[in-house]
Amino acid sequence: MRVIVLGATSAIAEATARLYAAEGADLLLVGRHAGKLSSIASDLKIRGASRAETAVHDLASVQGVDATLGDFIRQLGGVDHILIAYGILGDQADAERDQSVANDILQINFNSAAAWCLAAAAELERQGRGSLVVIGSVAGDRGRRANFVYGAAKAGLAALIEGIAHRFATKGPRAVIVKPGPTITPMTEGFDRKGLLWATAPQVAAVVRAAADRGGPVVYAPWFWRYIMLIIRNLPSAIFNRMDI
């Protein structure tokens, strides 16, 4: 198993990479911070990875995405699974006041992620096999005042991956968007992270790893968010607009 992880320093990505390492996979970890990538790679080798290589790259840049992904694949010697797991939450209030903040949220969470998804889809279609797994969010299921800029980016990403999955339907590869609910990671520091609805990165990682092999094209993590979001999506606006969520 050869796996490319784009955004490998995120908590969910690292936890997922540990699951692949336990299977003896070859991994290529991509992100901006060389030191952290190296530390994660060393840990993955201890955990059983056959190889754990690194590549430093600013994934928010969309220049030369196709060529760069090709370089990553050659560095690893081929690819079976591609995991896209980077993003920023951003601040909704700042995004409403400052267009540049909103642009950053949209650029990182949708524009650049979409470019990598399309490049990955083209490669997997050429080889006729493999999995593209992308971390989305339940925030994309319905616009809410608390985070609608971030939610809009994740909604667009979900539509893109569903479309790629439809494109793949008779061609061999698979594409899956995994939508976690609130998860205890560095991204959510400062939130009140108590309660049964909060998941841990390893819990979400288990869903991500399984989604690469089966199910989809839309998977919720944990599973019960599928039903929570079904209710939220179908609430009448008269009720929804009175809710502080």
Sign of CA dihedral 39, 17, 108, 145: negative
Picking from 105, 86, 79, 82, the residue whose alpha carbon sits closest to that of residue 94 is 105
Residue 4 and residue 28 in contact, taking contact as beta carbons nearer than 8 Å: yes
Residue 180 and residue 224 in contact, taking contact as beta carbons nearer than 8 Å: no
Residues whose CB is less than 8 angstroms from the CB of residue 151 and which lie 6 or more positions away in sequence, other chains included:
137, 139, 140, 141, 142, 143, 144
What distance in Å separates the CA atoms of residue 35 and residue 135, rounded to the nearest whole number? 24
Residues whose CB is less than 8 angstroms from the CB of residue 43 and which lie 6 or more positions away in sequence, other chains included:
18
> The tokens of 220 are what?
């919720």
Instruction: Give the residue numbers annotated as catalytic, written as ranges.
Output: 150
Alpha-carbon torsion, ordered 38, 42, 44, 48, to 10 deg? 150
Residue 59 and residue 120 in contact, taking contact as beta carbons nearer than 8 Å: no
Residue 211 and residue 226 in contact, taking contact as beta carbons nearer than 8 Å: no
